[in-house]
């Protein structure tokens, strides 16, 4: 099972690179043009789990899923790990996605950051606008990240619940964007989070199932 997951993970990377190369070269390859390109934007919950692999399996062969997650990244532009400042953000843009799934905010609840940061919503709007301005005119989906349990990563569950979750919802409402909630289906399943932050295979599958259901019900 792990070998199968690894194979799909490698395939996601290779197909993403291939799609980018085709787009950059201006090729008219009909199969590439017909594929629905999905860019998964996020932190280590995107990059470090198998949710993108599971999602691609669920979506099927008419989709190409690109995993552009970077561990430790934030929405906040004032941190030293803002997602918008990462090369992966530019690579995701060149991927020319038709769908963008953004699942960020977990690291913004870090106790190492200023927990009174009033710019989270404004910075999130900037990130969304960056993708909305692409020539491919992607549909952007915002995801409420999974819950945070006891952890040693200095990420505050209390701050996350009281500030990050409602702020993510505010961005979706303010920008009239569809919202996917993966927090609620996992909030009563701490057993899926060995380190309190990152979901295991079962948790990743729940994330993929929830996102897949949202995408296909609004297709």
CATH code at position 88: 3.40.50.1110
| Spatial separation of the C-alpha atoms in residues 126 and 132, rounded to whole Å | 10
- What local confidence, expressed as pLDDT, does residue 115 receive? 60
- Answer whether 159's CB lies under 8 Å from 107's CB: no
- Answer whether 22's CB lies under 8 Å from 32's CB: yes
Local confidence pLDDT in tens for the 219 residues of the chain: 444 444 444 444 444 444 443 334 343 344 456 899 999 999 999 999 999 999 999 999 999 999 999 999 999 999 999 999 999 999 999 999 999 999 999 999 998 886 657 899 999 999 999 999 999 999 999 999 999 999 988 999 999 999 999 999 999 999 999 999 999 999 999 999 999 999 999 999 999 999 999 999 966
The domain in which residue 107 lies consists of 11-17+32-217
Does residue 85 lie in a domain region? yes
50: nearest Cα among 218, 211, 213, 217: 211
Does residue 89 lie in a domain region? yes
This prediction's pTM: 0.86
What tens digit of pLDDT does each residue of 44-76 get? Answer: 999 999 999 999 999 999 999 999 999 999 999
- What local confidence, expressed as pLDDT, does residue 14 receive? 47
Does residue 198 lie in a domain region? yes
- Answer whether 101's CB lies under 8 Å from 41's CB: yes
Does residue 116 lie in a domain region? yes
Tally of structural domains, the chain = 1
Does residue 3 lie in a domain region? no
Does residue 170 lie in a domain region? yes
């Amino acid at each position: 099972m792990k070998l199968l997951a690894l194979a799909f993970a490698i395939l996601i990377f290779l197909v993403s690179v291939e799609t980018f190369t085709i787009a950059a070269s201006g090729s008219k390859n009909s199969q590439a043009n017909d594929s629905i390109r999905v860019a998964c934007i996020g932190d280590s919950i995107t990059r470090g789990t198998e949710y993108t692999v599971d999602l691609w399996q669920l979506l099927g062969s008419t989709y190409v899923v690109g995993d552009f997650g970077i561990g430790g990244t934030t929405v906040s532009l004032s941190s030293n790990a803002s997602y918008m400042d990462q090369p992966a953000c530019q690579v995701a843009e060149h991927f020319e996605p038709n769908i963008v799934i953004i699942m960020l905010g977990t690291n913004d609840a870090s106790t190492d950051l200023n927990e009174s940061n009033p710019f989270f919503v404004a910075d999130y709007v900037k990130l969304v606008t960056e993708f909305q301005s692409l020539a491919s005119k992607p549909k952007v989906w915002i995801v409420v990240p999974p819950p945070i349990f006891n952890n040693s990563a200095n990420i505050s569950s209390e701050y996350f619940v009281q500030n990050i979750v409602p702020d993510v919802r505010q961005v979706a409402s303010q920008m009239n964007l569809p919202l996917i909630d993966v927090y609620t289906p996992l909030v009563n399943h701490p057993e899926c989070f060995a380190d309190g932050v990152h979901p295991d295979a079962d948790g990743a599958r729940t994330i993929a199932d929830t996102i897949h259901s949202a995408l296909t019900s609004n297709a």
